[in-house]
Amino acid sequence: MAAGLTQAEAAERLAWLAEAIARHDRLYHDQDEPEISDSDYDALVRENAALEAQFPKLVRADSPSRRLGAAPTSALAKVAHARPMLSLENAFSAEAVAEFVARIRRFLSLSPDEQVAVTAEPKIDGLSCSLRYEGGELVLAATRGDGSVGEDVTANARTIGDIPQRIAGAPDVLELRGEVYMSKVDFAALNERQQAAGGKIFANPRNAAAGSLRQKDPGVTAARPLRFLAHGWGELSAPLAATQLEAMQAIARLGLPVSDLFKRCCGFDEMLDHYAAIETCRADLPYDIDGVVYKVDRLDWQERLGQVARAPRWGLAHKFPAEKAETTLEAIDIQVGRTGKMTPVGRLKPVGVGGVIVANVTLHNRDEIARLGLRVGDRIRIQRAGDVIPQVIENLTAKEKRPAYLFPDHCPECGSEAVSTEGEVDVRCTGGLVCPAQRIERLKHFVSRGALDIDGLGEKTIVEFAELGWLQSPADIFRLHRHRAELLQREGWKEKSVDNLLASIEARREPDPARFLFALGIRHVGIVTAKDLMRAFGTVEALRNAATGDSAQAELSCVEGVGPVVAEALVDFFHEPHNREVLDDLLSKVRPQPFVSQARQTEWSGKTIVFTGSLETMSRDEAKAQAERLGARAAGSVSAKTDLVVAGPGAGSKLKKAAELKVPVIGEDEWARIVAEAG
Ligand code: IVH
């Protein structure tokens, strides 16, 4: 935790924390793609709370401590986007950019002589906003929010000079998307004014833009110098053009600002040249940018490429290199996770890196400490890329003659022996449920937001109840009501808080089955895998039967998204008698709901399709993605469960098998017709 910060440093840190926590909330809650562990997340929340306690005047309107309670995020109305607002996959190297181009070629099955034109433009560090025009009139402006639902900021957007209220010659429905930002000069002047008036100091132009746009009072927004730059579109009643370049030119002709560094590149070399050109003029640009965005130029190709999770396959953010700084490693602490994994955390002399104060770094594992030769007292170089937890990249005093750091061979929490399994880098505490840290971490995971999401059962409460002997295993949560009277006697608990807690527990008696499975904390089973498993098996009981059956490995591994590692983890978990007891106990208290698929409902929903032979107009991946968009599953081999085989030239044994099993077989043309009709 950052100790001894000045007021300005604390303000900066709080701004960063507010943004980072909100982002991790979105990743965890809305996108099911957490980037950090629950304990790292909790560390951020705790750091925020401690800083706020130290500097009560600096508590922000958008502070996570306000949001994490029951209070609504903001008073702005929520609006659903007509088309989702996607995010972009990040790349940090030329190799990753090459892979992006190669992946596109593979997906589209392009012949080697076919060029892939890609546009390149700066990635503005602002906040994205969707502007909806109907009959040429601005009718709605919305922030991105979670991508599906944003906040209505129409009145505020009307105060921004770059955003036209009316557009002559616009299609009937025209949604323009772009970045609301504040220029560097305007940001500095705003902070000076804020300081003079005793108002809030913003950490960076991005925060200033976000804080200014997301105001209840448009008068406040009007007084802030916000700008807008268009970079794309959402719903349209008529297409703007056939390529990204022409569409952006059309948007410029409609009167919206677009980047003058926008360029259509032919191939990888030109993309990298333009990246370098933009990086060279980065410091001279009037606004902050954090990379370059590439987009496939042909819009019909964009359409075919579609999206994975929440990012399009046709776009990529090529980020600029991480910011670096030097400081001293003051201590190495060991955190024990829910599976007993012992993670070393470096405590630093706080240092500013690219505008934020960093006081902790992850040291990953024992091998990483050894690789860097790290010891307490070393001078180190750290780096921070985007919002990712900072890392040590170099030990500047590795050559100094001091004894090496000894990684503990016993758990610092319970004293049990710590071991590492052959071939694994992690050291684990062998204490199992004896280890209070593991027990607490498991319970924390069970009630966490992506899992059962039980409000009011935070870490402090879990520790308190565990110490009282009320909480050992997750099922005990559903027995807490028995302790109501005792709890009311305890300090800090009132009738209302006790009832609220018990009510939020009761509300989880019939949990979503994927969340329930994820909550069990089986190694390698994240929420996405849990969903895949529930889609395949329907219930946890069915999964357990499969995992304890004779052909468990085979049956589990044929589930889409499940490989041998996950299959083995499931088999191990369900074989362990203690886990079975915990699960039985739990299932006597809660009844998970049947799995409901969120894929589109079409006549192909739930059907299994096999693609075989060489497909000529698309790659296997594209065909698979098309099947998934129809709610179907693409399998690798033909069995009695196959509903349809799509065969291209050269299809062999699978075709024979399909004939034997009387599975209908169609060609690629027929498949294209099905996709077109369903789409
Ligand atoms: S394209 C699906 N172009 O970056 C396409 N985004 O990391 C998504 N951004 O949410 C948007 N500059 O807020 C695009 N030139 C640019 C951009 C840009 C900044 C932001 C945008 C988006 C985020 C994704």
Q: Which of 83, 87, 121, 308 to mutate to test the pocket of ligand 1 (most atoms within 8 A of CB)?
A: 87
Q: Is 40 within the bounds of a domain?
A: yes
Q: Are residues 203 and 268 in the same domain?
A: yes
211 falls within a domain: yes
- The residue nearest atom 15 of ligand 1, judged by CA position, is 123
User: What domain count does the chain have?
Assistant: 5
Q: Give the residue from 608, 594, 601, 592 showing the smallest Cα distance to 538.
A: 594
Question: In this structure, is residue 418 part of a structural domain?
Answer: no
**Shared domain check, 97 and 217:** yes
Residue whose Cα lies nearest atom 18 of ligand 1: it is 123
72 in a structural domain: no
Q: Is the Cβ atom of 123 under 6 angstroms away from ligand 1?
A: yes
CATH of the domain at 189: 3.30.470.30
Q: Which two tokens stand for residue 588?
A: 């006597």
pLDDT reported for residue 74: 46
Could you write out the three-class secondary structure of 138-166?
EEEEEECCCCCEEEECHHHHCCCCCCCCE
Task: Based on the fold, state whether residues 23 and 169 are members of the same structural domain.
Answer: no
257 and 381 fall within a common domain: no
Task: Check residue 651 and give its pLDDT.
Answer: 81
Q: What is the domain-level CATH number for residue 31?
A: 2.40.50.140
The CATH number assigned to the domain holding 449 equals 1.10.150.20
Do residues 64 and 18 make contact, with C-beta atoms less than 8 angstroms apart?
A: yes
165 lies in which domain range? 78-319
The answer to whether residue 414 is domain-embedded is: no
Q: Which of 118, 123, 129 to mutate to test the pocket of ligand 1 (most atoms within 8 A of CB)?
A: 123
Residues 516 and 590: beta-carbon distance below 8 Å: yes
At 580 the three-state DSSP class reads: helix
Q: Is 293 in the pocket of ligand 1 (CB under 6 A)?
A: yes
Final residue in a domain of this structure, among 484, 506, 528: 506
Q: For residue 59, how far is its CA from the centre of ligand 1 (angstroms)?
A: 30
Q: Is residue 82 part of a domain?
A: yes
Protein residue with least CA distance to atom 14, ligand 1: 231
Distance (angstroms) between ligand 1 centre and the Cα of 128 equals: 7
Question: Which residue's alpha carbon is nearest to atom 21 within ligand 1?
Answer: 128
157 shares a domain with 275: yes
Q: Is the CB of 244 under 6 A from ligand 1?
A: no
* Domain-located, residue 594: no
End-of-domain residue from the set 506, 527, 553: 506
Average pLDDT, 10 consecutive residues per value, the chain (679 residues): 72 88 72 65 74 79 59 66 93 95 96 95 96 95 91 93 92 97 93 85 85 89 94 97 98 96 96 96 89 98 90 95 91 93 95 80 93 97 75 95 96 93 86 87 91 91 94 95 95 93 95 94 87 90 93 86 87 89 94 75 83 84 83 84 88 87 90 83
Calculate how far, in angstroms, residue 123's C-alpha sits from the geometric centre of ligand 1: 6
DSSP 193-206: HHHHTT-PPPSSHH
315 ligand 1 Cβ < 6 A: yes
| 419 in a structural domain | no
Active site residues: 123
Residue 120 burial class via C-beta count within 10 angstroms: exposed 0-12, middle 13-18, buried 19 and up: buried
| C-alpha 85 to ligand 1 mean position (Å) | 9
CATH of the domain at 645: 3.40.50.10190
Tell me which of 124, 282, 310 to substitute to probe ligand 1's pocket, judged by most ligand atoms within 8 Å of the beta carbon. 124
Question: Residue 326: which H helix or E strand, with range?
Answer: strand 323-336
306 shares a domain with 190: yes
Q: Whole-prediction pTM value? A: 0.54
- Do 465 and 526 reside in the same domain of the chain? no
CA-to-CA distance for 423 and 417, rounded, in angstroms? 18
Considering the domain architecture, whether residues 558 and 643 belong to the same structural domain is answered as: no
3-state DSSP call for residue 291?
strand
pLDDT of residue 5: 82
Instruction: Confirm or reject: Cβ of 121 under 6 Å from ligand 1.
Output: yes
Do both 31 and 158 map to the same domain? no
Is residue 86 in contact with ligand 1, taking CB distance under 6 Å?
yes
- The domain boundary, picked from 506, 529, 550, lies at 506
Please check whether residues 271 and 153 belong to one and the same domain.
yes
675 Cα–ligand 1 center, Å: 29
- Is 46 in the same domain as 193? no
Do residues 560 and 470 both lie within one domain? no
CA of 147 to the centre of ligand 1 (A): 12
